[in-house]
Structure 1
Amino acid sequence: MDRVRQPGRRRRTGRLVAIDMPGGPEFVETLSRVWDAGDAAFVVDRRNPPARASAVLDVMAPSAVIDEHGDESARTDGRPIEAGDALVVATSGTTGSPKGVVLGHAAVAASAAATSARLGVTATDHWLACLPLAHIGGLSVVTRALHLATPLTVLDGFDADAVMRSEATLVSLVPTALARIGADRFRVVVLGGSAPPAVLPSNVVTTYGMTETGSGIVYDGVPLDGVDVRVDEGGAIAVRGPTLLRAYRDGTDPFVDGWFPTGDVGAWDAEGRLVVQGRDADLIISGGENVWPAEVEAALRQHPDVAAVAVAGLPDDEWGATVGAFVVARSQRPSLRSLRDHVKERLPAHSAPRRLYVVERLPMTTLGKIDRPGLLALAGQVQPETLESETLSPRRSRRDGR
């Protein structure tokens, strides 16, 4: 039998089948059966409340649902798939309805092969899947293992103790999960989902990608083999390659002249590595100056009193938008002045935050990404420290001589 899996070789039914079961061996067996029957799979996010879950199913339009007992029930409103389709994966955006990303077997196989080649995966390796399987970051671990016949352990979500007890040599994590384990337990840790910590162990590989690219396509700033990355004069990132989606579930073709516009902005550094500055929609324009939240966050993470941080643009009558920093403090609460001085030593002055919100925790998505709309809601609930409040503070006035 060939080492590389060749799914979907039996009858082509043209169905999309939703898999609604927890992570574990039964999930992997069910996905294999769906593929072997010639069907495509959509993995249900079991953390969604019933109303949300129902709405997502309506958008994805599967023809059947397989539940946690392995029982299959038909849906009358299902839409067919095209020959060669393997997966429909919901985008992990934080606003609006998710879109269904259609990935073909060829794309899934190309992603598995390119990733395994870059990581040097051998027959002695063992993958651990502990991220949500409804999202590409978790599901792609399973598909890599299936396509290359690599040993695989699947957990029903992240559990630090279970992760550390596993026999795996390879794992895919988000930064919040990485902080809870010993990275040296693994040969390689693949890290994605949000901005990485300032200092990383040598066995951690940072990735850039999204649902539409079939998981990570840039590792430590270098595109995978077969992947082309283009950065235009304005910094807009577009990609093409064999791992990308065929289309969205509603039939929309997102490609422009063969390139997929990611919606991200970045640049090539002096070593020829891709540096992603952030989502185009996240750009803060304050007083006519461009501020990238990711750059400010990276600077603030190096402050000794900052345990975690997120930055967002907040409406401002004078500046149009102002830079707000949402900080989880360490043992000592940082002041806005100290954070501004810290940023101005590393970035242009207009990047320094003008509002500081000290919070107990940051709003996060299920994939460990900053929930940017959640930050705006949080700004309405927490009293900020501002430049004006610093100026009015008697303690500040004496120290600053004002």
Structure 2
Amino acid sequence: MTISLILDMATSAHGERGAFTVDGTTVTFDELGHLVAAVGSELQDSGAKHVVFLGHSGLELPVLLFASAQAGLPFTPVNYRLGDRQLSDLINRVDGAVVVVDPDVTASFTDVSAPILSAHVLLKAARTRTDLLPSVDIDPDAPAVILFTSGTTSAPKGVVLRHSHLLSYVMGTVDFGSAESTDAALISVPPYHVAGMGTILTNLYAGRRMVYLPHFDAGEWLALARDEKATSAMVVPTMLERIVQSLQGAPAEIPSLRSLSYGGARMPRPTLEAALVAFDDVGFVNAYGLTETSSTIALLGPEDHREALSSDDPAVRMRLGSIGRPVPGVEAVIRTADGDPAPLGEQGELWVRGPQVSGEYMGLGSVLDPDGWFPTRDLAYQDADGFLFVVGRNDDTIIRGGENIAPAEIEDVLVHHPSVQSVAVVGIPDDHWGQAIVAAVVLEVGADPDPEELRQYVRASLRGSRTPDRVIYVSELPSTATGKILRKEIVANLVASAQS
């Protein structure tokens, strides 16, 4: 079986039901199936070995995903926001690629030898094609999707997701045909993120119409959710923060909305608490996953969110910062530096395994251990009830005076100060301590606290060694499209500033 099966099943069961809505136009499952068959035929005729896509989240994305599968070609959506040189370097790493470009994407490919096609021209030609070719018979263990990691700490690596990985994820987390005919999912995540692939596959398998908002804007998101009667939505933390800010304390008032999922980066507690109040009758889901795991591997469900929000027990309230428990079919273990399972409550590295876990990189091979375990490089701990808590990345750890300090524990305190809108804590080289702790803070509009006030605010909650040595104010924190803070960029700017 390949991911083509998902579209085949959805088309057979829900042919006349709407599958995708973009800019007010809806395409049915039957129409999507015909477009996929026609574009797949065009791709087979092209002689390409691989399909690279540069574009936004629109109809072209699901069509090319399934058309590539029909043609037996791996599909790679690439971050169109990268610079021309970075784009060229990534494309040139893909063997035998044809590059399909959304005309709205402005980029120069002077150093790319691969043929470049317009997505609009390709779809236009496909709509009139009648000599459709049969699907290529391919191995379920063949690569289906290759996604380049964000490269926040190193050069991007191409993660290989095989058909079997993606099918295991979809069929292990979603019931086929479980959506009602009136259900609609509002999608705003980038196409080059694993969530962009996962939302297509899971919603199609459920039979749910997807509504794309290619360019996120909080006001437009709220209006589109109301106009299209969205029943579910997926956002990243920075999007939810802007939605909450735009509401200015008022209720969201989207009667149709039943489920709101978030993921891609750590969610600030104040943002989540404000969102739970604004969307008071909506079920929230924290979906934790990685590119290497074919998307979600752990969930904090709606009841967990509401129970934590209303609880007076600090341990239960803390679960608002949890990633929840592993999804069916996924095992998780937290290991100490020695490789042994960590006791409950003790931090270690989170390792996972299961049929949806890839752990494979293009040109580099697999990083799974002999027993199939994948090292997430996330520092985490587990409480007595099985809830997992991610406290940061291994390489984000600050070592000050020989003591390991997770930036997240300081950030979780500072972000609750009324003058702080967002914060990132990093370590910079220091001759005395090895590393000094610096808090880069974005202030709320109109706020101007003394930096020493924020230092003492941390000291009141954490022991002295966790108090930032410096607090600096910045206009914004550099981040990826999914809200992951680019800590290396913050450190580089601080070091450069000190040397100038």
TM over 0.5: yes
Residue matched to 1:327:
441
Residues 236 and 266, structure 1, Cα contact 8 Å, conserved in 2: yes
Report SS of the residue matched to 1:366: coil
Output the amino acid matched with 1:160: A
- The change in CA–CA distance for 1:336 and 1:26 in structure 2 (over 3 A counts) is same
Match of 2:235 among 166, 169, 173: 173
Q: Deviations over 1:242-261 (max 9, x none)?
A: 22226211141110121001
Report SS of the residue matched to 1:370: coil
Q: Deviations over 1:208-262 (max 9, x none)?
A: 2211111221112211111111101340111011222262111411101210011
Match of 1:226 among 312, 329, 345: 329
Residues 283 and 292, structure 1, Cα contact 8 Å, conserved in 2: yes
What 5-or-longer segments of structure 1 have no aligned partner?
Answer: 73-79, 384-402
Question: Which runs of structure 2 are paired with 1:313-352 in the superposition (5 Å)?
Answer: 313-330=427-444, 331-352=446-467
Residue matched to 1:254:
367
Q: Deviations over 1:120-172 (max 9, x none)?
A: 86554322221210111323212222333321122323232332213222222
Residue matched to 2:195:
137
Residues 264 and 280, structure 1, Cα contact 8 Å, conserved in 2: yes
Q: Deviations over 1:46-82 (max 9, x none)?
A: 212221111011223353222333357xxxxxxx998
Residues 91 and 98, structure 1, Cα contact 8 Å, conserved in 2: yes
Report SS of the residue matched to 2:79: coil
Deviation at 1:319, TM superposition (A): 0.6
Please say which of residues 103-112 and 286-295 is displaced more in the overlay.
103-112
Residues 140 and 163, structure 2, Cα contact 8 Å, conserved in 1: no
Question: Which runs of structure 2 are paired with 1:83-232 in the superposition (5 Å)?
Answer: 83-116=141-174, 124-164=182-222, 165-166=224-225, 167=228, 168-181=230-243, 185=254, 186-199=257-270, 200=272, 201-202=275-276, 203-220=283-300, 221-232=324-335
Residue matched to 1:77:
none
- The change in CA–CA distance for 1:81 and 1:343 in structure 2 (over 3 A counts) is farther
Q: Deviations over 1:255-314 (max 9, x none)?
A: 012100111111002332101111111110101111101111111111111111000011
Output the amino acid matched with 1:249: M
Report SS of the residue matched to 2:150: coil
What 5-or-longer segments of structure 2 have no aligned partner?
Answer: 1-7, 14-32, 103-117, 123-137, 245-251, 277-282, 301-323, 338-347
Q: Name the % identity.
A: 33
TM-score, structure 1 as length reference: 0.84
Q: Deviations over 1:2-27 (max 9, x none)?
A: 34999999999993211233321132
**1:50 aligned onto 2:84:** yes
Report SS of the residue matched to 2:269: coil
Residues 169 and 188, structure 1, Cα contact 8 Å, conserved in 2: yes
Question: Which runs of structure 2 are paired with 1:276-295 in the superposition (5 Å)?
Answer: 276-295=390-409
Please say which of residues 2-11 and 122-131 is displaced more in the overlay.
2-11
**1:236 aligned onto 2:349:** yes
- The change in CA–CA distance for 1:287 and 1:121 in structure 2 (over 3 A counts) is farther
Residue matched to 1:2:
9
- The change in CA–CA distance for 1:291 and 1:99 in structure 2 (over 3 A counts) is same
Output the amino acid matched with 1:229: A
**Aligned partners of 2:419, 2:12: CA distance in 1, in Å?**
50
Report SS of the residue matched to 1:60: coil
**Aligned partners of 1:328, 1:81: CA distance in 2, in Å?**
50
Residue matched to 1:400:
none
Residue matched to 1:364:
479
Residues 179 and 206, structure 2, Cα contact 8 Å, conserved in 1: no
Q: How many residues align?
A: 374
Residues 54 and 99, structure 2, Cα contact 8 Å, conserved in 1: yes
TM-score, structure 2 as length reference: 0.68
**Aligned partners of 1:322, 1:172: CA distance in 2, in Å?**
37
Report SS of the residue matched to 1:24: coil
- The change in CA–CA distance for 1:147 and 1:105 in structure 2 (over 3 A counts) is farther
Residue matched to 1:35:
69
